[in-house]
Structure 1
Amino acid sequence: MNYPQCLICHKTVGWTGLVVNIGLSLLKLFVGFISGSQALMIDALYSAKDVLTSFLILLGLKYSKKPIDEEHQFGHGKAEFLFSLVVGLSMIVITGMFIYFEADKLLSGAMMQHKAPHMIALWTSLFVVGANLYMWYYTRCVAQQVNSPIVAILSDHQKSDAISSMAVALGIIGSHYLNMPWLDTLVAVGECLDLFHLGVKISWEALQGLMDVSAPQETIHKVKELTRTIPGVTSVESVLTRRVGQDIWVTLVIGVDPEITIERGKEISLWVEERLVEGIPHLGEVSVHFKSASGSLPELQMMENELAEMRQRFARRIETDSPDLGVV
């Protein structure tokens, strides 16, 4: 984290999002109902999903930070992906139902008989745009500092909420000044389609996280660059990464001079680990192994190879000292 206040924001972002989005959701639902704006009422779903996301952040951030135990020897980091999947699937189901009902209204022509929404809906939607832009900036900052997938989802939601509310405002303006009262319902259908698409995207990203998706290519490239700066590293043989909640786990195999001792190889590995911890943000578990640059054997097999050579030398010495005894 770059700033001391980031720790405070990390702990309070869930509660802040929960309170703000409950207020925005109730405001849009109430004004949408009294003004006759279908789009503003559907827009309340955007804030409602953020309420659910904020609630899951409170659970996810708390549960994912639990220490390693006997039943969860790799930690609880994947809890955030699991909670993200719940958000995505909930959005798919709810918005799928609204798409059906709103599209039916639009295609049946029933909205052609309705009046344009009251102008109070326009002022409410503009106020909501400003509130969501502020929340987007705030949650994006927190997500970047703590590298939290579920806080990043909340940030994306706040941005989409601002865009949705702006579309509501444009729809209301069109309903009044273009004499197109059905435009409000058309915006509502568009909002539902956008929410459905967002739900699919969130679900897919959560599934990838649960399936040990690798770190971004730029992170892998940086791991290789930092490793090559360590004296004694002759090559980077392999880099394996995976996302575990907010952290990135790395398993690295480096190549070293085949003439050095095992102790020297272990020392070089420790240097690599220290450099990666210092240079890669949000790094969780790091495991560095070494092997001969010629591609002979990993460190454990190198030890076995040395033991085998010792046995051979010992056997030859016995044959030399006692030729009549032989060696079994």
Structure 2
Amino acid sequence: MDDRRKYNIRAGWFSILGNILLSGLKYWAGISTGSLALVADAWHSISDVVTSAIVLIGGKISRKPADDDHPFGHGRAEHIAAIIIGVVLAIVAFDFVLNGIEKLGEREHTYYSTFAWIAIIISIIMNELMTQYSFWAGKKINSTMLIADGWHHRTDALSSIIVLIGIILGRSFWWTDAVLSIIVAIMIAYASYEILSKEINSLLGESPSDELLLSIREAAQKNFDRPLHIHHIHLHNYGHHTEMSCHIKLPPEMSLNEAHDICTKIEKEIKAEFGYFTTIHPEPVKLENR
């Protein structure tokens, strides 16, 4: 938990400070050149500031211990924070599309200055650095929220690359800036879809893979000669930990103490191999089915 707190805070503040600098730089360059793509890119950086603040808040909430109202802790706050990031991305993308269409209708030509070149190159480098750090930290502490924030940085870096292409081609084609702002919007919308679909599925609950179910059955059975017929396996992800429930079949004449010992051994084995906290329901099995 100390590592989670440390990496969440570092990634959050790195993103906030970096994007405050970048948003100001790109907005200034966009206003001075009349570039919609640059101004849109600046707003993308501003949205990064917002989502990074959400990372810090979501990380703080997810570290709260279990209480009477939340007996499994607050780990799913990270998933909720990632969904908020996805929604922010969708809103930004929609706004870019509207502005791009409006600029196409006005047939507005954009001329870029040297300052625009400098601003966009700095943006590409800074955003890729923030992307790599968020991905690294997210994988290190298994945080979907940090990885989602990393994808947000990546879309900002890619959108800046597209704007750079627009700067290169802008002198020859009047429509370049407007079209590229729409392309940037499509990229952001796709990142939003990727984040939202993954996090919503996680909150709704996903079925474990056949490979995972087989591994769980093998781990539960390996210390017993008697077939346990483990079934009805359910996994419940609560962010920082996973709860598992399942059924096993035992002889009806078996004593309660012996059945309890078997369940405890399985629970310890599952915890050691997968890290899951397991609850087991024993069922009687007829002698001929053993």
Q: TM-score range by the shorter chain?
A: 0.7 to 0.9
Equivalent residue number for residue 189 of structure 1: 182
- How far has the Cα of 1:135 moved from its partner? 1.6
Tell me how far apart the structure 2 counterparts of residues 190 and 278 of structure 1 sit (CA, whole Å). 48
Structure-2 change in CA distance of 1:24 and 1:115 (3 Å): closer
Contact kept? 2:5, 2:59, Cα under 8 Å: no
- How far has the Cα of 1:27 moved from its partner? 1.9
- How many residue pairs match? The answer is 288
Partner residue of 2:146 out of 148, 151, 155: 151
Could you tell me which runs of 5 or more consecutive residues in structure 2 were left unpaired when the two chains were aligned.
none
Equivalent residue number for residue 169 of structure 2: 174
SS, match of residue 271 in structure 2: helix
- What is the CA deviation profile of residues 256-280 of structure 1, one whole-angstrom value per residue up to 9, with x for unaligned ones? 5666543233223222222322322
Structure-2 change in CA distance of 1:294 and 1:182 (3 Å): farther
Tell me how far apart the structure 1 counterparts of residues 69 and 114 of structure 2 sit (CA, whole Å). 58
Partner residue of 2:107 out of 92, 100, 110: 110
SS, match of residue 251 in structure 1: strand
Matched, 1:165 2:160: yes
Tell me how far apart the structure 1 counterparts of residues 141 and 97 of structure 2 sit (CA, whole Å). 35
Structure-2 change in CA distance of 1:126 and 1:227 (3 Å): farther
Counterpart AA for 1:144? K
Tell me how far apart the structure 2 counterparts of residues 163 and 204 of structure 1 sit (CA, whole Å). 21
Counterpart AA for 1:38? L
Equivalent residue number for residue 8 of structure 1: 6
Contact kept? 2:110, 2:177, Cα under 8 Å: no
Structure-2 change in CA distance of 1:164 and 1:252 (3 Å): same
- How far has the Cα of 1:201 moved from its partner? 4.0
- What is the CA deviation profile of residues 155-212 of structure 1, one whole-angstrom value per residue up to 9, with x for unaligned ones? 1112222221111112211224xx1132122111111232234334434444334433
Tell me how far apart the structure 1 counterparts of residues 112 and 194 of structure 2 sit (CA, whole Å). 32
Name the stretch that deviates more: 264-273 or 287-296.
287-296
- How far has the Cα of 1:69 moved from its partner? 1.5
Tell me how far apart the structure 1 counterparts of residues 5 and 223 of structure 2 sit (CA, whole Å). 32
Equivalent residue number for residue 56 of structure 1: 54
- How far has the Cα of 1:5 moved from its partner? 6.7
Name the stretch that deviates more: 27-36 or 57-66.
27-36
Identity of aligned residues (%): 24
Could you tell me which runs of 5 or more consecutive residues in structure 1 were left unpaired when the two chains were aligned.
297-328
- How far has the Cα of 1:292 moved from its partner? 4.4
Tell me how far apart the structure 2 counterparts of residues 6 and 220 of structure 1 sit (CA, whole Å). 28
Counterpart AA for 2:267? E
Matched, 1:270 2:244: no
Equivalent residue number for residue 23 of structure 1: 21
Root-mean-square deviation over aligned CA pairs: 3.0
- How far has the Cα of 1:46 moved from its partner? 2.7
Structure-2 change in CA distance of 1:74 and 1:17 (3 Å): same
Structure-2 change in CA distance of 1:41 and 1:223 (3 Å): farther
Pairing of 1:222-261 with structure 2 (within 5 A) = 222-232=215-225, 234=227, 235-256=229-250, 260-261=254-255
Name the stretch that deviates more: 185-194 or 258-267.
258-267
Partner residue of 2:280 out of 285, 288, 312: 288
Contact kept? 2:155, 2:191, Cα under 8 Å: no
Equivalent residue number for residue 308 of structure 1: none
The higher radius of gyration belongs to 1
Pairing of 1:86-125 with structure 2 (within 5 A) = 86-106=84-104, 108-111=105-108, 114-125=109-120
Counterpart AA for 1:160? T
- What is the CA deviation profile of residues 126-168 of structure 1, one whole-angstrom value per residue up to 9, with x for unaligned ones? 2222222222221112211222221121011122222211111
Tell me how far apart the structure 2 counterparts of residues 148 and 22 of structure 1 sit (CA, whole Å). 24
TM-score by length of 1: 0.75
SS, match of residue 111 in structure 2: coil
Structure-2 change in CA distance of 1:211 and 1:115 (3 Å): closer
SS, match of residue 74 in structure 1: coil
- How far has the Cα of 1:103 moved from its partner? 0.9
